[in-house]
Amino acid sequence: MDNSVGIVSAQRAHFDTPLTLKSGAVLPHYDLVYETYGALNAAKSNAILICHALSGHHHVAGVYADEPKNVGWWDNMIGPGKPIDTNQFFVIGLNNLGGCHGSTGPSSLDPETGQPYGSAFPVVTVEDWVEAQARLADRLGIGQFAAIVGGSLGGMQALQWSLSYPARMRHVLVIAAAPKLTAQNIAFNDVARNAILTDPDFHGGDYYQHHTVPKRGLRLARMLGHITYLSDDVMANKFGRELRHGKVNYGYEVEFQIESYLRYQGDKFAGYFDANTYLLMTKALDYFDPAHDYEHELNRALARAQAEFLVVSFSTDWRFSPERSREIVNALLHNKRRVSYAEITSAHGHDSFLMEDEQYIAVMRAYLGRIAQECAA
Amino acid sequence: MSPLTTLRPDFAAIARWIPAGASVLDLGCGDGSLLRHLADTKQVRGYGVEIADADIVACLNNGVDVIQSNLESGLSGFEDGAFDYVILSQTLQATRHTEPLVSEMLRVGREAIVSFPNFGYWKARLNVLRGQMPVSAELPYQWYDTPNVHLCTLDDFEMFCANSRLTILDRRVMTGGNEVGFLPNLLGATAMYRFKRAE
């Protein structure tokens, strides 16, 4: 494979120091799974942390030896010679707490009961994730990151890092994110959650013991989410009103291609993702609002930040619109932080941040080139 | 980073107006050459504003902070009095909402600096006398593809300032890199003004 980091493997870090969460709940012990690419330099100054979005995880780049087709979710951005160049940087991807890809989450076994946590797993927030990520950084001996990078919910974590630990990174890259969700955004999340919560197979979150999975709910949640990640234009171009069998049948079976596509996406997702993790991730999105403790003044909330910022948005992203990114930019300007802002013209809606786009790649390459120069200096 | 060996003459002239350590907003900053020069030589802190994709990348490669935004929709993201200087070099004539933009420049900046091609330059006048729109190094476009919708002469601009209650603090006029003192509205190809709101 061209410019791939090649074969990678996940690692596991166990933590015994209790983590007090924002909700007040305490996780006495937990595991985080992570992957690393590239080499940490002698000065330990070239580390980059990748924060994942709702359905992401630690497998960010490369492939597994036994799964050569399982390519990391941001492999187009990370690798030798790619914008996040693994010849220059030591890149870390991890699965967040509450996840379903190996880090401790609702589907993990609670060592105290021998049963999956299920409904007993506490609600975690973006702040809690940053706390756990900081402990992983301590474990890996990284005092200050060259950059913390994230898209969507990952961008919120990157932003939160700059507030929780202002001196622990030099650069923050906030991509397709927002300083908080709008009411419309929370509404979408609530409908998605309701699909799961009202699935008869949900069993209050303890479906593992019932050997069922609330697949119907999770599938609906993903179908709804998927609509909001795409733009009207891209759906129109890709599917239009195309019919699967060339004619309508005056019934409720799948007729339009878009219906078929959404169901396929929903089924695929429901086949591997954990419903409790989906609930928890959407709640973390809803709760994120750093300005809340500052009388809703983002300017004051971001006053603590010390890093330099790159903020990127996408023109057709209506779930995390360019205007929301501009709110972050404006608050950084108010605080006289170094900040650059790129609004990428892209047809792909919110999903654009994961896509191959010439201008997007060029912007990332240019900004990361500046970071690499600083690391080398 | 390669050193800037050839700085545009109007940039060099503008740079002489900016004191060390000033804060600057450069509107239509292109590849960021001016800001880079100001940062390297005068520890000036600032941001560029640009709409063109390629220039955003060029600014980032130049180590210049740039905000991708359309000047025509105003400077709403920037706060009142946020900058010492707001610069608009060789862009004034290409703006559609010129008057509101100048007003915005002096909302976010203490002083404004503009440079523009002088339509009163004798070569331009000669072209018009001959019955054709001018095409030159300063005005390299044909009438049908020019982005320049608000061309003016030195006299026009100074009248605009008087009518808009703007105080001109300094003026430089240049032709081919040389300063022009005599009959500037006739002999000057490029004009630079530093101005503020009248007290």
> B142-192, pLDDT tens digit by residue?
999 999 999 999 999 999 999 999 999 999 999 988 999 999 999 999 999
How far apart are the CA of B67 and the nearest CA of chain A, in angstroms?
5
- B83 touches A: beta carbon within 8 Å: no
Pick from A327, A324, A221: nearest CA to A282? A221
How far apart are the CA of B13 and the nearest CA of chain A, in angstroms?
26
Share of chain B above pLDDT 70, in %: 97
Which ipTM was obtained for this model? Answer: 0.95
pTM to 2 decimal places: 0.96
Q: Which of B61, B65, B69 sits opposite A366 (nearest CB)?
A: B61
User: Known catalytic residues of A?
Assistant: 152, 317, 350
Q: How far is CA B4 from CA A137, B1, B40, B138, in A?
A: 40, 9, 10, 21
User: Which of A340, A359, A363, A368 should we substitute to test contact with B (largest number of B Cβ atoms within 10 Å)?
Assistant: A340
Give pLDDT, residue B3: 43
Give pLDDT, residue A28: 96
- Tell me if residue A115 falls in helix, strand or coil: coil
- Tell me if residue B183 falls in helix, strand or coil: coil
Considering only CA atoms, give the Rg of chain A.
21
Task: Kindly report the CATH number assigned to the domain that includes residue B98.
Answer: 3.40.50.150
Give pLDDT, residue A265: 95
Beta bridge partners of A169: A145
- B56 touches A: beta carbon within 8 Å: yes
How far apart are the CA of A182 and the nearest CA of chain B, in angstroms?
20
Expressed as residue numbers, the domain containing B67 is 4-197
Q: How far is CA B33 from CA A45, A62, A250, A330, B184, in A?
A: 29, 38, 64, 24, 27
Average pLDDT for chain A = 97
Long-range residue pairs from A271-275, CB within 8 A, at least 24 positions apart, any chain: A271/A215, A273/A55, A273/A100, A273/A218, A273/A222, A274/A100, A274/A105, A274/A106, A274/A107, A275/A196, A275/A199, A275/A202, A275/A207, A275/A213, A275/A214, A275/A217, A275/A218, A275/A221
**Does B6 have pLDDT greater than 60?**
yes
Contact yes or no for A363 and B56 at CB 8 A:
yes
φ and ψ at residue A241, rounded to 5 degrees: -110, 25
Average pLDDT for chain B = 94
Average pLDDT, stretch B121-149? Answer: 94
- Measured on CA atoms in the order A298, A304, A306, A307, is the torsion positive or negative? negative
Q: Which of A339, A359, A373 sits opposite B65 (nearest CB)?
A: A339
**Does B118 have pLDDT greater than 90?**
yes
pLDDT tens readout for residues A42-96: 999 999 999 999 999 999 999 999 999 999 999 999 999 999 999 999 999 999 9
- Give the pairing of strands B190-197 and B166-175: antiparallel
User: Which of A333, A359, A361, A365 should we substitute to test contact with B (largest number of B Cβ atoms within 10 Å)?
Assistant: A333
For chain A, 377 residues long, give each residue's pLDDT as a single digit of tens.
Answer: 478 999 999 999 999 999 999 999 999 999 999 999 999 999 999 999 999 999 999 999 999 999 999 999 999 999 999 999 999 999 999 999 999 999 999 999 999 999 999 999 999 999 999 999 999 999 999 999 999 999 999 999 999 999 999 999 999 999 999 999 999 999 999 999 999 999 999 999 999 999 999 999 999 999 999 999 999 999 999 999 999 999 999 999 999 999 999 999 999 999 999 999 999 999 999 999 999 999 999 999 999 999 999 999 999 999 999 999 999 999 999 999 999 999 999 999 999 999 999 999 999 999 999 999 999 87
Q: Which of B65, B69, B77 sits opposite A338 (nearest CB)?
A: B65
Residues in chain B closer than 8 A to A323 (CB atoms): none
Q: Which of B1, B57, B77 sits opposite A330 (nearest CB)?
A: B77
Chain A residue whose CA is closest to B76: A330
Chain B residue whose CA is closest to A344: B53
Give pLDDT, residue A161: 98
**Does B72 have pLDDT greater than 90?**
no
- B53 touches A: beta carbon within 8 Å: yes
Residues in chain B closer than 8 A to A326 (CB atoms): 77
Give pLDDT, residue A120: 96
Nearest-angstrom CA–CA distance, A184 and A186: 6
Q: State the pLDDT confidence band at B8, using cuts at 50, 70 and 90.
A: confident
Contact yes or no for B60 and A366 at CB 8 A:
yes
- Counted across chains A and B, CB pairs separated by less than 8 A come out at 50
- B49 touches A: beta carbon within 8 Å: no
User: Which of B68, B73, B78 should we substitute to test contact with A (largest number of A Cβ atoms within 10 Å)?
Assistant: B68
Number of domains, chain B:
1
